[in-house]
Amino acid sequence: MKKKKPSSGGYTDLHAKCGITTSLPELETWPNQFSGYEITIEIPEYTAICPKTQLPDFGTITLHYMPNKACVELKSLKVYIHAYRNIGIFYENAVNRILEDLVKACKPKWAIVTGVFTARGGLSSTIKAMYPK
């Protein structure tokens, strides 16, 4: 008797990869003048689209990092985060993508990006990605 493969709920590889390579505005930086301090930026109005249901997702994204030679410029961060509004992307992918883009832009000593997403269907999610891994 063959074992039945578990259902993935109709999710495809296309759903899973959605939004990962979408073009987004560039994160700009400015030269850091000090060392040994931490920056925490809270973004309480994150929105994106679920790639499967096309329903909006809402959450708070928190960036916490120790700058090295550059700091992320806040206006460019705001424009970058607001660009997610029209992208189909899963929570997990968004948090990891934000971390990758932050690290690429300002090369911090370390960074943590946390996404706390509002409840949907009685479930809420918190996703945390860290650099270095």
Active site (catalytic) residues: 50, 57
92 assigned binding-site residue: yes
91: annotated binding-site residue? Answer: yes
Is residue 55 a known part of a binding site? Answer: no
Long-range contacts of 90-94 (CB under 8 A, 24+ apart): 90/15, 90/16, 90/18, 90/19, 90/50, 90/51, 91/57, 91/59, 91/115, 91/117, 91/125, 91/127, 92/127, 93/16, 93/17, 93/18, 93/19, 93/20, 94/19, 94/46, 94/48, 94/61, 94/127
45 has binding-site annotation = no
Annotated binding site for substrate: 72-74, 91-92
Annotated binding site: 72-74, 91-92
